[in-house]
Structure 1
């Protein structure tokens, strides 16, 4: 009898234990499945996230990956769960739950993707910096050839201006980064630019915040400082027509807590905490010509009948232009602000008298990745044949082909860091090219050749032996050996007659020397 009662007691305890386990498992499953059953395609992307597209059967091999990305962004309570996790990490451990957000001192947040510039781990080599300088110099020269004006500025990363609020274990590189190297190069080339790091550092001494604490961008005051620096440079270079600009930083302003920071949204999605914004006590004197939805619009067009500067402007900008464009709109007779890459400089000169380009420090390399649309022009005034020698900018051009052999090494005299081998056949360099016509009617020639890797300044010489004519066009460099050439229709014989009817050579610049390298162009099918 006792043993039977003992057995029943043990059995009851086992059943109770199993019941507890079952309940625990059931609760776990319910919690795990709630996000699935509350799945919503309306969940907003967090901060700077790219909105995931809804998967479709037409995605092909990418379908599985797209389903994964879409579900990961849209599952139920996703933003609330991310919020809870990141609050715990920020509050208890003083760290960030988002790899792209750095939690700094005194509540400051920083954009993690700018860290390479801050630490000096993403500094480009000399050739890349020179190529970026060559591109911007070509931009300015083309705009001015078309009777326009030009200016380029790079918006400093937030941590470059407020590095003292970065976590102590991130040590700022005190040397020359991409920003400083490019500025020095542009100054040497005579490109119209402004060292905004210095301008902002000086303005910072007043005690006014120039960047948002919870956002990756400058605030309205920082944008005003940048605008005034650009306006002063334009006035210094192009004269009185640009001298009537307003000194906004000297005007009365108020500070309001009404700004939603992108970093705050990334770190704590759904957070209602607002950041400070500077609002100047000034009338808005312009009107929007297109349907204005917000400062992130890809294209913003404005008109101003009481403009301080009697000029039309085209502004190529990124998200730092969200605050900057307003000052141009409030000062210029008309503005077209475009958030697009590549920059279509050809189109811009037909729309405006001033072409301005703003690009954030962390994305300077995009100048090489997204080749701007700049038509080249025949350099007949710089290149000529005198006797048996060719002359470029008054310097005799050395012909180089004996140093290039099939599968061989780069020719003697090329810049340091050249590739170990070049594309060549029978001593002549080769390049595979593509020929297209753009929506603007330009002829676009794109290609690549290893022989161009060591150089920033590169030109294509086209010889029409039948007509006894020679043309030389500057190429727009990309990364590695990539290049692009844009030709206006009147210079586009190359597309009408066919590549095979001409002889070609690259002319490359190394220091103050020019070298001509015969090249065979092969049209890609």
Structure 2
């Protein structure tokens, strides 16, 4: 006991305590110096850091606002500027990313999942992979019904229409996902259920999943969200066969091209220079800006990633494609087979513009993880005309507020179906009555509504029983009454009024 007490006392000698205090002072000083680096570095003529992906460079804040008055957000703007631009920020991020990935197989950002064998996955695809937050049956039906209306509108104009859904990388290559994530069944996935429902409704679609998965090669990039050019070529070949369009870029001569830093790699380390090769094909995407001898850009913006891309090729028909980033690498492999093509990333889909271009072919391409978009964002196209005369119009005590707004050439009607009328098959119609005046008789027009799943601020769907109408502005003038009706098999021959609004002409 005495020896133990003596050892304890030895540890707390005045000399030991002095050394501990000295070490603590050094630690605090070093920590404070490190914390001051970001601010102090701005005092020296060192190049400031800017995010490589930042479209417009950050500028130092000003005491005056653009309006000429005092900038009341000066301190906040200064903090943001110092945080985002201090000279060593990139190196610190890169070091932290490398250490965390190497030591713990994890990322410094919650947007990235570190997989096996160098594979990276976008975290926004996790819900699909794990089977979380799937669309309800009504949500799937909303998406499919909106696409059916679009399909019918295209067919009425003699346009060949199809839907093309690009599977998530982990849908095809889940074997490279970390073992801690267990894949849900594909049978009940949003992708499979939507494609089945499109088939039920007679909406043409292309199922890329089976064709891509059956390939002996991996057709997606390791450190990127998307398919590589070989994968895009497989998808394009299947799409063109479905559209009955000759593939003028079939079976190209492939070679590995220059490398690039994948989008997921940039998410987890914006300073990364870790490149990954992609494929180049003679005559298709082997020239500058991925052009080829069989096609070229038709405008002054030679960039396949732009919001609107126009090309000319060797084919006979014209194509209009609504697409997302998966469509970037489709541009070189589809364009040769069309006389002219336009590829639009703009949302909501401006179908009126697309139809004005008079294409023979209209394609809607969308990534699997973005399937809810079809339920939450109906296409911006005039709601189809219909006729409610065959129904018995019945008033209802259960009504919801109806919102009317101007949007371009349309007036947009939004609302929700009251809970008492929420049948699984419920559809919504609008009756628009314009009172007669001295030169015109009373006019009654009926329209079918788009379905709309409603989201909260976090973009989570909270209600699958919304609706939307796009009505030409000329159809809603002063003294116009708008009545909203719900129809369902459960209601028989009745359509029940669930909302109304009087337009005063403003």
Shorter-normalised TM range: 0.7 to 0.9
- Counterparts of 1:207-222 in structure 2 under 5 Å? 207-222=216-231
Partner Cα distance (1:231, 1:511) in 2: 42
- How many residue pairs match? The answer is 457
Please say if 1:224 is aligned against 2:225. no
Per mean C-alpha deviation after superposition, the further-off stretch among 274-283 and 33-42 is: 33-42
Partner Cα distance (2:450, 2:174) in 1: 35
Unpaired runs of 5+ residues, structure 1, are: 1-9, 236-241, 391-396, 406-423
Please say if 1:199 is aligned against 2:211. yes
CA deviations on 1:382-418 (whole Å, 9 max, x unpaired) are x444xxxx2xxxxxx6x554xx44xxxxxxxxxxxxx
C-alpha distance 114-64 of structure 1, shift in aligned 2 (>3 A): farther
Name the structure 2 match of 1:177: 189
Name the structure 1 match of 2:277: 276
Task: Check conservation: 1:85, 1:97, Cα contact below 8 A.
Answer: yes
> 1:330 aligned to 331, 336, 353, which one?
336
Partner Cα distance (1:293, 1:144) in 2: 31
Partner Cα distance (2:84, 2:235) in 1: 36
> 1:450 aligned to 418, 424, 440, which one?
418
Name the structure 2 match of 1:98: 109
Partner Cα distance (2:494, 2:66) in 1: 50
C-alpha distance 20-437 of structure 1, shift in aligned 2 (>3 A): closer
Partner Cα distance (1:333, 1:102) in 2: 41
Partner Cα distance (2:493, 2:82) in 1: 56
- Counterparts of 1:262-301 in structure 2 under 5 Å? 262-283=263-284, 284=292, 285-292=294-301, 294-301=303-310
The TM-score, its normalising length taken from structure 1, stands at 0.77
Task: Report deviation, 1:75.
Answer: 3.6
Partner Cα distance (1:218, 1:374) in 2: 31
Partner Cα distance (2:478, 2:226) in 1: 50
- Counterparts of 1:16-31 in structure 2 under 5 Å? 24-31=27-34
Task: Check conservation: 2:129, 2:183, Cα contact below 8 A.
Answer: yes
Partner Cα distance (1:464, 1:14) in 2: 91
Name the structure 2 match of 1:363: 370
Partner Cα distance (2:177, 2:18) in 1: 57
C-alpha distance 325-68 of structure 1, shift in aligned 2 (>3 A): farther
> 2:495 aligned to 503, 516, 519, which one?
516
Please say if 1:128 is aligned against 2:167. no
Task: Report deviation, 1:433.
Answer: 1.6
SS in 2 for 1:461: strand
Unpaired runs of 5+ residues, structure 2, are: 1-12, 285-291, 454-462
C-alpha distance 269-16 of structure 1, shift in aligned 2 (>3 A): same
CA deviations on 1:81-104 (whole Å, 9 max, x unpaired) are 121112112212222222111111
Task: Check conservation: 2:435, 2:479, Cα contact below 8 A.
Answer: no
The TM-score, its normalising length taken from structure 2, stands at 0.80
Per mean C-alpha deviation after superposition, the further-off stretch among 267-276 and 217-226 is: 267-276
